[in-house]
Amino acid sequence: MSNVYVEDIGNWVGKEVTVRGWLYNMRSSGKLHFLLVRDGTGIVQCVVFKADVPEDMFELCGKLTQESAITVTGTVREDPRSPIGYEIRVRDVQLVHQAMDYPITPKEHGVDFLMDNRHLWLRSSKQHAILRVRAELIRAIREYFDSHGFLLLDAPIFTPAACEGTTNLFETDYFGERAYLTQSGQLYMEAGAMAFGKVYCFGPTFRAEKSKTRRHLTEFWMVEPEVAYFNLDDDMDLAEDFVATIVAQVVERKKKELEVLERDVTKLETVKKPFPRIRYDEALEILHRKGMEVKWGEDFGGDEETLLSEEFDRPVIIHRYPRECKAFYMKTDPENPKVALCVDMIAPEGYGEIIGGGQREDDLNVLEDRIRQHGLPREAFSWYLDLRRYGSVPHAGFGLGIERTVGWICGIHHVRETIPFPRLMGRLTP
Ligand code: 4AD
Ligand code: MG
């Protein structure tokens, strides 16, 4: 007898196997129990006939509680009515652990309750589908950069300086010195690009977001490529090719999961190059036409992003935002000093900004001025300024937020379900 995972069970038709897992659900009649057993890779129906097993074992099956740990041994049979195409006719059931009253029952629960029980909620089919899509997305991202000549370069988590503004920093005590949890690996990737040409980092980033929205986590994962000798156009080309490639790959490889999530994949099949590219000014015109009051100079928030996304059937690339609403490191457009050579990519269907990036300021004096104007401590940036002292070149990059991208691909309204253990304002457990 062999220990087998449910996902491989099709290779074992007619043979005896053991599945080790947990009781997902069951129903019984006088002579028969149907046990739905999950093992993490899938769910298989196991049929226990009274005549096939000792009497006490049959009785034990009737008393099994939801999420009890069991091992089930029996013969695999084809069953066209089962969602996986197979079932097990059981010869033996062993109880490993009888679960106490499992809190998440098949009835509806509120989201706060489910979030409090996130460590258990992970066992449900919908969460499985989302987190498998997440894993596939991360695989596709790594494959993309690894196969396009980018070097994976890990950025530090403890940092001495702010990258994305000082209002949402998490401060920690670093042996008596002030340190911050990183908001972005970008500044380190700029050093990496000057050393290796094309690099990317992929890791957790932190922002003390004090607003409760469906798009903001305090801890989220970001992938950040950075390339030497790239300008804004090169950067937009890369972002476009990257997003089109990874989305197509996830849709192709995770059909089953997207079906579980009832995602309308026709909305993802349109995600092909070229994506529309518009200037901030044009985006502003669209918003005004739609009755939204946004003044020139203001950054877009969630509502603006949603309205803009309604205009397009694929992600829209918006470039050249007003300099004043963007970070200190953005390069000013030589053709218009009021705007920065920056880019955002907004996902369709209201899933918000998934990419932020642009061309970086590469002139030492201009960058020093910007650091001063933004009230940032010069000492903390002296190493960063070195990059403009020793062979400074044009360069650009961007950051893609994993959770918003997973939310978009899965069609999940709130980012809290797109990461195994979300960290939000007001949520630090489990
Ligand atoms: O636009 P952002 O702030 O850009 C940067 O951090 C740049 N330094 C990246 C770079 O150029 N290397 O963030 C990039 C992306 C956003 O577009 C969004 O997808 C995601 O990170 N993001 C968040 N996701 C979840 N929760 C939050 N609080 C997020 N803040 C940003
Ligand atoms: Mg941004």
Write the pLDDT tens digit of every residue in 4-42.
999 999 999 999 999 999 999 999 998 999 999 999 999
Distance 114 CA to ligand 2 centre (A): 30
Q: Which of 220, 309, 345 gets mutated to test ligand 1 (max ligand atoms within 8 A of its CB)?
A: 220
Find out whether the beta carbon of 74 lies less than 6 Å from any atom of ligand 1: no
Find out whether the beta carbon of 224 lies less than 6 Å from any atom of ligand 1: yes
Taking the C-alpha atoms of residue 287 and residue 267, their distance in angstroms, rounded to an integer, is 23
Tokens of 128: 């499985």
Which residue has a Cα nearest atom 20 of ligand 1? Answer: 401
Which residues touch 35 (CB under 8 Å, ≥6 apart)? 23, 26, 45, 46, 47, 48, 61, 64, 70, 72, 90, 93
- pLDDT (tens digit per residue) in 331-349: 999 999 999 999 999 999 9
- Ligand 1 atom nearest the C-alpha of 226 is 12
Instruction: For the chain, give the number of residues.
Output: 430
Q: Would you give per-residue pLDDT tens digits along the chain (430 residues)? A: 799 999 999 999 999 999 999 999 999 998 999 999 999 999 999 999 999 999 999 999 999 999 999 999 999 999 999 889 999 999 999 999 999 999 999 889 999 999 999 999 999 999 999 999 999 999 999 999 999 999 999 999 999 999 999 899 999 999 999 999 999 999 999 999 999 999 999 999 999 988 889 999 999 999 999 999 999 999 999 999 999 999 999 999 999 999 999 999 999 999 999 999 999 999 999 999 999 999 999 999 999 999 999 999 999 999 999 999 999 999 999 999 999 999 999 999 999 999 999 999 999 999 999 999 999 999 999 999 999 999 999 999 999 999 999 999 999 999 999 999 999 999 999 9
Distance 401 CA to ligand 1 centre (A): 6
pLDDT at residue number 107: 86
Which residues touch 103 (CB under 8 Å, ≥6 apart)? 113, 117, 120
Distance 342 CA to ligand 2 centre (A): 10
Taking the C-alpha atoms of residue 38 and residue 191, their distance in angstroms, rounded to an integer, is 47
- Ligand 1 atom nearest the C-alpha of 357 is 11
pLDDT at residue number 208: 96
Find out whether the beta carbon of 216 lies less than 6 Å from any atom of ligand 1: yes
In degrees and rounded to multiples of 5, residue 364 shows phi and psi of -60, -50
- pLDDT (tens digit per residue) in 372-390: 999 999 999 999 999 999 9
Find out whether the beta carbon of 370 lies less than 6 Å from any atom of ligand 1: no
Find out whether the beta carbon of 222 lies less than 6 Å from any atom of ligand 1: yes
pLDDT at residue number 251: 98
Q: pTM of the prediction?
A: 0.97
Find out whether the beta carbon of 163 lies less than 6 Å from any atom of ligand 1: yes
Q: Which of 341, 404, 415 gets mutated to test ligand 1 (max ligand atoms within 8 A of its CB)?
A: 404
Distance 299 CA to ligand 2 centre (A): 9
pLDDT at residue number 334: 97
Find out whether the beta carbon of 220 lies less than 6 Å from any atom of ligand 1: yes
Q: Of the candidates 197, 185, 195, which has an alpha carbon nearest to the alpha carbon of residue 228?
A: 197
Distance 282 CA to ligand 1 centre (A): 23
Taking the C-alpha atoms of residue 169 and residue 172, their distance in angstroms, rounded to an integer, is 10
- Across 50-157, the runs of DSSP E, i.e. the strands, are 69-78, 86-97, 151-152
Tokens of 186: 């970008």
